[in-house]
């Protein structure tokens, strides 16, 4: 019987980080929202760094499993699957992605979280690069320059679009996605 409470804390903390950021994440908010005491959260995650690191790690794992789950599928299909993953954040309370949240909170992050977030972003851009590269080879995608450059552009555009959508509405995100897909057409 593994710790359900720890999972619940991590899940809520994940949502809160995507909503308000790591610095504004508080033990009080977590404990009250889960109907427990402050110290109970500290029991599972002694320090805030422990909690924050676990949050980023879990989100990283979600992506890794996602990448494995779409492996072998068509390149357009893989891209669409990623886009709908991000779109869920938008529709679920205008969250931003974990990488974007980590990057904007960067200066307040402990080193362990910085490194984990960097590894996460490196893996995502790597995945994008491979999908784009392969998609170009089999004629599914078209773009100028290197796959790595295009991947860098796309990841940053999507992260930025999620954030900008908060300010000027979800249509902005949809417009960015539409433009990206349009430009990838052969």
Partner DNA sequence: AAAATTACTTACTAGTTAGTAAGTTTTGCA
Partner DNA sequence: TGCAAAACTTACTAACTAGTAAGTAATTTT
Footprint of DNA on this chain (CB under 7 A)?
Answer: 1, 3, 5, 25-29, 36-40, 42-44, 46-49
Total residues in contact with its own copies, by rule CB under 8 A: 52
49 binds, among its own copies, DNA, none (CB under 5 to 8 A by kind): DNA
Q: Which residues does 14 contact at the CB level (< 8 Å), separation at least 6? A: 55, 58, 59, 98
Whole-angstrom Cα distance, residue 109 to residue 162?
21
112 binds, among its own copies, DNA, none (CB under 5 to 8 A by kind): none
15 binds, among its own copies, DNA, none (CB under 5 to 8 A by kind): none
Binding site for its own copies (CB under 8 A): 19-21, 23-24, 94, 96, 99-108, 114, 117-118, 121-122, 125, 143-145, 148-150, 152-153, 155-161, 163-164, 166-168, 172, 175-176, 178-180, 182-183, 185
């Amino acid at each position: 019987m593994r710790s359900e409470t720890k999972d619940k804390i991590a899940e809520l903390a994940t949502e809160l980080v995507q909503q308000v950021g790591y610095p504004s994440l508080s033990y009080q908010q977590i404990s009250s929202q889960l109907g427990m005491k402050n110290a109970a959260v500290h029991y599972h995650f002694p320090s805030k760094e422990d909690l924050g690191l676990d949050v980023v790690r879990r989100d990283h794992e979600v992506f890794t499993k996602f990448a494995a789950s779409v492996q072998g599928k068509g390149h357009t299909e893989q891209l669409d699957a990623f886009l709908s993953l991000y779109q869920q954040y938008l529709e679920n309370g205008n969250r931003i992605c974990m990488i974007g949240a980590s990057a904007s909170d960067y200066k307040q992050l402990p080193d362990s979280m910085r490194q984990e977030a960097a590894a996460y972003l490196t893996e995502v851009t790597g995945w994008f690069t491979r999908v784009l590269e392969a998609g170009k080879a089999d004629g599914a995608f078209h773009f100028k320059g290197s796959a790595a450059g295009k991947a860098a552009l796309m990841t940053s555009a999507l992260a930025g679009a999620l954030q900008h959508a908060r300010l000027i509405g979800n249509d902005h995100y949809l417009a960015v996605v539409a433009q990206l897909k349009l430009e990838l057409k052969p």
